[in-house]
Amino acid sequence: MLNNYFGIKQHGSTVKTEVLAGVTTFLTMVYIVFVNPAILSGAGVPFDQVFMATIIAAVTGTLIMGLFAKYPIAVAPGMGLNAYFAGIVATQGLTYQTVLGAVFCAGVLFILLSVSNLRQMIIEAIPPTIKYGITSGIGLFIAFLGFKQSGIIVANESTYVALGDLTAPVTVLSIVGLAITLVLMVRRVQGALFFGMLITAIIGYFCGMLKFDGFTSLPPAPVFFDLDLAGVFSNGLYAVIFSFLLVTIFDTTGTMLAVSEQAGLLKDGKFPRAKKAFLGDSIATTVGAAFGTSPSTAYVESSTGVAAGGRTGLTAVIVAGLFLITMFFSPVVSAISSLPAITAPILIIVGCFMMEGLSKINWPSFDDAFPAFVIILSMPLTSSISTGIAFGFITYPLLKLVSGNGKKVHPIIYIFGVIFLVQMIFFPSH
């Protein structure tokens, strides 16, 4: 039944592989269940409310993505967008209910765009060099995150980044976990990424670095529609709505393209079942706002599940199920997510997988090469997928225009190039 519904055999996968892929994706992104409430509670939203809203949004979006769009892509409230949310509350003197109202409005607009043909048009209009640049840029970005979380790379005042203390316990465990996982990968062990995390967690436990304060707990009651729609219009938060909408659209679309490209699910550059996939993040954003969290997006950590062999919506369904269980096992999940050495090696390895698109970029053609280059460079340096995408959309049509190839660029790329330029100058989101 599962094979028929999800087309598991058709995609060269197995139920076991899809389950392991789902667990792998979940373990690399479950940190959001605790990080998101920590960030938004600083903006006044009650911690327990955000905890439940984060899980509800993740389950909603990921189930839609898995059951209807049938992609191995997980959805949850996005990092960066939550910080932007907190920043608006702090700098503009607004209540969190008012900003949640802005997110809700952006979500409704997001749904309308998703059921229209606009997002599909955007995907089909994006030139291959930008698609490959996005995939590779995200790969470099998440590998950089892995190095940073492990302590292998640290902030440095004079050089921005530098080599960390390789004798620090978390860093040592990260390096050991990376070595173990690399060996499993090279030996072609099925589920190598998952088993690498499992072995690393066991080592961490016996070294006293992984501690559990209980195993189960009753989830707090969710809070529904604690938002102020009237305040959105009385405060004229149209620019805020536009910023949420624009960043979310391109952040999540870029991630979907990258993960689908990695999984080999794009058909001649097109994105099958696009509208169903787009409803996943747009409905999750709207539902999440209604319960008390910032916008949701497709998660780049989905690429870890794809690297583990996930090719169908069953991977996403497993992720959604595990998020649901998280409500009752928050002490265990909190302990695992608090030890970055478990997931950092996976991010580094998956980053390597996602660099494959570099070979497909037309490097001898400078007006193709530079937009891809600037996307790849800016994503890790700005810690923002959407900023990298914006640079690509701005530079590509500009270089094509001055090189005499402007007619080869789809008109929608020009339009969004201008929109991104205006947005970055006047409505920066980070």
Read off the pLDDT of residues 92-134 as tens digits, 9 standing for 90 and up.
Answer: 788 999 999 999 999 999 999 888 888 778 777 888 898 888 8
> Band of the pLDDT at 239, cuts 50, 70, 90?
confident
> Band of the pLDDT at 369, cuts 50, 70, 90?
very high
Read off the pLDDT of residues 399-408 as tens digits, 9 standing for 90 and up.
Answer: 999 999 999 8
* Residue 428: pLDDT over 80: no
Read off the pLDDT of residues 58-90 as tens digits, 9 standing for 90 and up.
Answer: 999 999 999 999 999 999 998 778 877 887 887
* Residue 152: pLDDT over 90: yes
More confident residue, 248 or 6: 6
More confident residue, 129 or 383: 129
Q: Quick one: pLDDT at residue 145?
A: 83
Q: What are the residue ranges spanned by the domains of the chain?
A: 2-141+227-339+347-353
Q: Quick one: pLDDT at residue 131?
A: 84
Read off the pLDDT of residues 6-60 as tens digits, 9 standing for 90 and up.
Answer: 999 998 999 999 999 999 999 888 888 888 887 888 889 998 899 999 999 999 9
Read off the pLDDT of residues 320-344 as tens digits, 9 standing for 90 and up.
Answer: 999 999 999 878 777 887 788 988 8
> Band of the pLDDT at 208, cuts 50, 70, 90?
very high
Q: What mean pLDDT comes out for the span 264-269?
A: 80
Q: Quick one: pLDDT at residue 149?
A: 87
Q: What mean pLDDT comes out for the span 395-422?
A: 92
User: How distant is the alpha carbon of residue 261 from its chain centre?
Assistant: 15
Q: Quick one: pLDDT at residue 28?
A: 86
Q: Quick one: pLDDT at residue 427?
A: 66
* Residue 231: pLDDT over 60: yes
The chain-wide mean pLDDT, for the chain, equals 89
Q: What mean pLDDT comes out for the span 363-378?
A: 94
Q: Quick one: pLDDT at residue 429?
A: 52
